[in-house]
Amino acid sequence: MTAVTEYTKHTRALTLTKKFACTRKNTCHLIRFKKSNTVIVCNNMMRALKVTIATGVTLAWIVGLIMNEDFMQWFVKGMKVMFYIITPSELALDGSDAKPAYMDMYGLPMFFVFILFEWVAMQFVDVLSNSKNKSSGYRLNDFIMSVMLGTFQAMFLMLLALVGLEIEIGMYTQVYQHFRLWTVDSKEHVIFSYVALLLGKDFCYYCAHRFFHEYHLAWLGHSNHHSGEDYNLATALRQGALQPVFGWPFYLPLALMGFHPNAFAAHAQLNTLFMFWIHTDLIGRMPFGLEYIINTPSAHRMHHRPPGNCNYAGALIIWDRIFCTYTPEIVRKDHYGNGNQPNTFDPIKLNAHHLGQLSRVGGAKRSSSWLYKIFARRVHKKRTFRLGALVDPIPPVAKDVRFEGPKRAKWDGAKPMSVFATAWFLLFGLSSLVFAVLLLVQGAHMHRMDAACGALVSCLLFSALGKIADQESAPTSIAMVVSLFMAIAQFAIVTKKPFGEMGLIDLPETQQKGAIWGSVALLMALGAKSSPVFTSKSKGA
């Protein structure tokens, strides 16, 4: 009797255990199902909100164009400027004309107009397209830091200009005034001047751009542009602070041939602005054979895909084709950035990152020869020329694997930013950019020391905000404090102008220049200290 009772109890307990396990399993499935449904609902609500915003922006833009004739004229002219659709007579400039201002009047605002257009288009494509191959889109930290990297370069060049060192146009003007072999009258030879400068500037850019990639020292100034792991229009704004230092000699042949600096500057600005629109993942292959002639998003995506040592063209892809550096996009994928990707958003670190690689050039045998490192090549590609390559067929895109996601994890900070850190980063990031733009606009009319202090403080502020985006524990709290003080200083300099309007200190010109050179040296020293050369040594110690 006892044995039967025990057996019955055991059987009931086992049955209850199984029922409980089964119930628990079903409950877990139900919870996961509910969570999954919640995520889907949230995602759908977010997509609906984005599309609503995108629709509102589109309608507001259309209404603005219809209602305001001046705005319509500016927008139409801006579109022409961005795509190099300017008449030869308008570009026939000489000393009697004002310096061209295509970049300031149209380029800078059109950058953000295009970025807005791209974001709106992404929202509609995301909803209307059935394809899983979506563009990588925008990330808040990456977008703001891309804009800051471009502004950082402008601030660094402002510091150099304040001591009389205007890089590209300044050197060009000096050679034109003192060493030109002929004088090309752009107003008398309008078509010749237009064609020669369009082709000449673009070919010189191809040579300079290829030089940036093929030599380690020049790559130090250009690698920053390739640090963006999202391929969108904001990536075009990532510019290296030192890049202009290495690029200006390539344009001097045009000065020697006698093309006026104003005419050259106009074509230089238009050439740069044309390259903005090709930084998008929304556009596939271009129709009507344009892939054979101009630089396109498809061609330039291959340039930004690691290792990226191809398709160096500015406006015209013909140079890559005849010099055999052209590589077509056969497979579309989400894979952008540097081969040795720097995991940081800090502009100072990004601008100095390649110093680590430069220190390792040549291996142990030549580690002490910095002369060798400076002139060492990083791309050993045979230089060839084949005119027949212009008509070589471009193979079609074979497949699109963007639905698989990024080919490597993108740097998004050491950990996700908290709500407080995100709000701080957004508030100080946007406000610092606004005051930096005001500084750039007013810089030519400010006291030299006000402009210099504003540029230095802005660069340090951008660096602190980059550290906040990196979210590397200890430096984050320090970076918040630094960003607060730098933001206050930036605001005070731009609005109060302590040296100019308040007459804080009246320094002799030589001391002013010395202080500005000190600011340049400070930024370069901070970059060198943050590079892998010194950080690895300190860790090893």
pLDDT tens, residue by residue, 350-369? 998 888 787 777 665 555 57
Helix axes 69-82, 108-128, angle to 10 degrees: 90
Looking at per-residue pLDDT, the higher value among 18 and 492 belongs to 492
Question: What is the rounded CA–CA span in Å between residue 58 and residue 52?
Answer: 10
Question: Are 323 and 456 part of one and the same domain?
Answer: no
- Last residue within a domain, chosen from 373, 404, 435: 404
Report d(CA 528, CA 354) in Å as an integer. 10
Q: pTM for the full model?
A: 0.86
What does the pLDDT look like over 213-268, one tens digit per residue? 999 889 999 999 999 999 999 999 999 999 999 999 999 999 999 999 999 999 99
**141: nearest Cα among 530, 487, 462, 482:** 462
Cα(215)–Cα(414) distance, integer angstroms:
31
Q: Is residue 498 part of a domain?
A: yes
If DSSP codes are grouped into helix, strand and coil, which group holds residue 151?
helix
- Structural domains counted in the chain: 2
- 187 and 272 co-located in one domain: yes
Residues 205 and 354 in one domain: yes
In a domain, 515, yes or no: no
464 and 440 belong to one structural domain: yes
Angle between helices 69-82 and 2-67 (to 10 degrees): 110
Same domain, 155 and 297: yes
> Could you check whether the bond before residue 416 is cis, i.e. omega within 30 degrees of 0?
no
Q: Is the pLDDT of residue 536 over 70?
A: no
Closest CA to 281 of 408, 108, 406: 406
In one-letter notation, the amino acid at residue 278 is I
d(CA 519, CA 144): 24
The helix/strand/coil state of 316 is strand
User: In Å, how far are 121, 265, 266 from 80, measured between CA atoms?
Assistant: 21, 17, 14
What are the percentages of helix, strand and coil residues in the chain, rounded to 5? 65, 0, 30
In a domain, 534, yes or no: no
Domain boundary among 354, 380, 404: 404
Q: Tell me, yes or no, whether 63 lies in a domain.
A: no
* Cβ count near 308 (within 10 Å): 21
| Tokens standing for residue 30 | 């139900």
Q: Which of 380, 466, 405 is nearest to 141 (CA)?
A: 466
Domain contains 311: yes
**Residues 265 and 102: beta-carbon distance below 8 Å:** no
375-378 long-range Cβ contacts below 8 angstroms, 24+ apart: 375/215, 375/217, 376/215, 376/216, 377/214, 377/215, 377/216, 378/213, 378/214, 378/215, 378/216, 378/219
> Is 10 part of a structural domain of the chain?
no
Whose CA is closest to 518, among 441, 442, 439, 455? 455
d(CA 411, CA 177): 48
| DSSP state letters, 18-44 | HHHHHHHHHHHHHHHHHHHHHHHHHHH
Query: Domain check: are 377 and 448 in the same one?
Result: no
Same-domain status, 431 and 293:
no
Are 244 and 160 members of one domain? yes
Give the range among 144-148, 188-192, 259-263, 371-375 with minimum mean pLDDT: 371-375
Evaluate whether residue 302 is within a structural domain: yes
**CA atoms within a 13 Å half-sphere pointing along the CA-CB vector of 46:** 7
Range of the domain at 470: 419-506
- The DSSP line for 240-296 is -TTHHHHHGGGGHHHHHTT--HHHHHHHHHHHHHHTTTTS-SS--S-STTGGGTB--
Residue 215, beta-bridge partner list: 377
Residue 522 has pLDDT above 70, yes or no: yes
pLDDT at 24: 46
Q: Does one domain contain both 375 and 431?
A: no
- Is residue 298 situated within a structural domain? yes
Percent of residues, the chain, with pLDDT higher than 90: 54
Residues 291 and 353 in one domain: yes
Query: pLDDT band for position 21 (50/70/90)?
Result: very low
From residue 136, alpha-carbon distances to 40, 167, 222, 396, 498 in Å are 20, 35, 23, 22, 44
| pLDDT over 50 at 275, yes or no | yes
Which of 156, 216, 206, 476 is CA-nearest to residue 340? 216
**pLDDT tens-digit profile of 466-510?**
999 998 867 788 899 999 999 999 999 999 888 877 766 777 888
**Does one domain contain both 299 and 439?**
no
Q: Are residues 198 and 293 located together in one domain of the fold?
A: yes
